[in-house]
């Protein structure tokens, strides 16, 4: 397969990166996050022993970037390793699982069965990294309990979720700097997870395992759903005659300035626009415009988020304006449901 320019650049840069001072690592699931995380860790000196993906092309591509000596396997091969392949996996002090969430429990069972059926390799006595094997998954929604079969097999387990959006497996290692990573799990595995975060220049936060689904829903709202909202705004500008490209170009500086305001202030202070000013007539015009174009999803989102904007604006919009806008939103919301 022909290498992209970005991939060739990464190969050249990473071949001169620090080598050898960090633990050996294997990664199961080398898609967007698994590859980006693996390569960033490699930059700080981790050695990548084995990479596994569902398809051979993904695994091969990740191995090519990870190191001249990295072994690649498909998930099917993982179920029937020869002794050379098993030894490579067994040498890893750390196994990172970055498959889709729904595959994590199955991978944990697969690995547990694999290690159970083989004699354990004695750990070096001077192993400063950890005195047992560590398995960590990177899902935001699942707790470390998803790796329970591995704990029964003598692993310490944790989850390590970066609050960052990686849409490109070839992302620069810098993408993890200053990023918060949510960590929970067994003490020794959580310690290893925190040292990974330090190596990447990130920051750690901890939540209870029972809160992970809610925590992840918050992340989806702030990131993925923000894009869904943006896409609705693009649709509205298409109705105004702008091409999708032009509409994106036009809206991006607005979004960036909003994020800059948010970096400096709490949401209530960062809020600008019709709701912050209490512009009753303008808000009526917005609602009418969306109704007239039959933009039902946008109208529903506008009303829902408008209520929240209104509560943010309460302190600096007059009470009359806030009450009146709340009534208008409610009336329009009911009317659009009944249509």
Contact residues: ligand NAP, CB under 6 A: 28-34, 52-55, 58, 75, 98-101, 103, 107, 138-140, 161-162, 165-166
Contacts of 218 (CB under 8 A, 6+ apart): none
Distances (CA, A) of 141 to 70, 125, 189, 220: 30, 36, 18, 10
Tokens 């390569």: give the residue: 39
**What minimum distance in Å lies between the beta carbon of 262 and ligand NAP?**
20
Nearer to ligand NAP, 35 or 274 (CB): 35
Closest Cα to residue 68, out of 8, 121, 128, 11?
A: 11
Two tokens, residue 64: 């090519």
Kindly tell me which of 104 and 329 has the beta carbon lying closer to ligand NAP: 104
Q: How far is CA 238 from the centre of its chain?
A: 30
For ligand NAP, the closer of residues 193 and 236 by Cβ is 193
Minimum CB distance to ligand NAP, residue 20 (Å): 26
State which residue, 147 or 290, has the beta carbon closest to ligand NAP. Answer: 147
Joined together, the tokens standing for residue 253 give: 């500086």
Whole-number CA gyration radius for the chain: 25
Nearer to ligand NAP, 139 or 332 (CB): 139
- Decide whether 6 or 123 has the Cβ nearer to ligand NAP: 6
Minimum Å gap between C-beta 185 and ligand NAP is: 15
With a CB cutoff of 8 Å and minimum separation 6, the contacts of 332 are 287, 291, 299, 303
Least separation in angstroms between residue 120's CB and ligand NAP is 23
Other beta carbons less than 10 A from residue 257's beta carbon: 12
Q: To the nearest whole angstrom, how small is the minimum distance from the Cβ of residue 227 to ligand NAP?
A: 12
For 224-256, give the DSSP string. Answer: HHHHHHHHHHHHHHHHTT--HHHHHHHHHHHHH
Smaller CB separation from ligand NAP, 158 or 322:
158
For ligand NAP, the closer of residues 29 and 149 by Cβ is 29
Write out the DSSP string of 100-145: -HHHHHHHHHHHHHHHHTSPPPPPPTT-SS-SS-EEEE--SSS-GG
Residue nearest ligand NAP, Cβ-based:
31
User: Distance between CA 159 and CA 150 in Å, rounded?
Assistant: 13
d(CA 190, CA 24): 17
To the nearest 10 degrees (0 to 180), the angle between helices 296-313 and 224-239 is 120
Q: In what order do the strands lie in the sheet with 24-28?
A: 71-74, 47-53, 24-28, 94-97, 134-137, 156-162, 180-185, 203-206
Nearer to ligand NAP, 28 or 322 (CB): 28
């Amino acid at each position: 397969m022909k290498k992209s320019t970005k991939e060739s650049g990464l190969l050249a840069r990473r071949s001169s990166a620090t080598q050898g001072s960090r633990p050996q690592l294997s990664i199961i699931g080398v898609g967007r996050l698994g590859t980006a995380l693996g390569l960033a860790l490699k930059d700080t000196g981790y050695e990548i022993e084995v990479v596994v993906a569902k398809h051979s092309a993904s695994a091969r591509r990740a191995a090519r970037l990870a190191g001249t000596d990295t072994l690649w396997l498909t998930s099917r091969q993982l179920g029937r390793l020869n002794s050379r392949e098993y030894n490579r996996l067994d040498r890893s002090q750390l196994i990172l699982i970055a498959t889709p969430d729904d595959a994590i429990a199955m991978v944990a069972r697969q690995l547990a069965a694999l290690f159970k059926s083989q004699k354990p390799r004695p750990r070096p006595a001077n192993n400063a990294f950890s005195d047992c094997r560590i398995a960590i998954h990177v899902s935001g929604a699942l707790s470390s309990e998803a790796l329970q079969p591995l704990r029964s097999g003598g692993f310490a387990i944790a989850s390590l979720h970066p609050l960052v959006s990686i849409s490109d497996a070839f992302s620069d290692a810098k993408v993890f700097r200053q990023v918060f990573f949510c960590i929970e799990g067994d003490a020794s595995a959580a310690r290893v997870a925190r040292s990974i975060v330090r190596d990447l220049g990130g920051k750690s936060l901890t939540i209870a395992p029972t809160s992970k689904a809610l925590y992840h829903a918050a992340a989806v709202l702030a990131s993925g759903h923000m894009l869904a909202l943006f896409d609705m705004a693009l649709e509205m500008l298409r109705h105004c005659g702008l091409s999708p490209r032009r509409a994106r170009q036009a809206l991006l500086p607005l979004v960036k300035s909003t994020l800059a305001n948010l970096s400096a202030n709490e949401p209530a202070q960062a809020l600008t626009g019709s709701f912050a000013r209490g512009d009753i007539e303008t808000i009526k015009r917005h609602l009418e415009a969306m109704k007239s174009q039959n933009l039902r999803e946008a109208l529903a989102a506008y009303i829902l988020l408008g209520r929240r904007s209104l509560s943010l604006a309460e302190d600096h919009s007059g009470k009359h304006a806030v009450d009146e806008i709340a009534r208008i939103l409610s009336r329009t919301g009911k009317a659009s449901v009944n249509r």
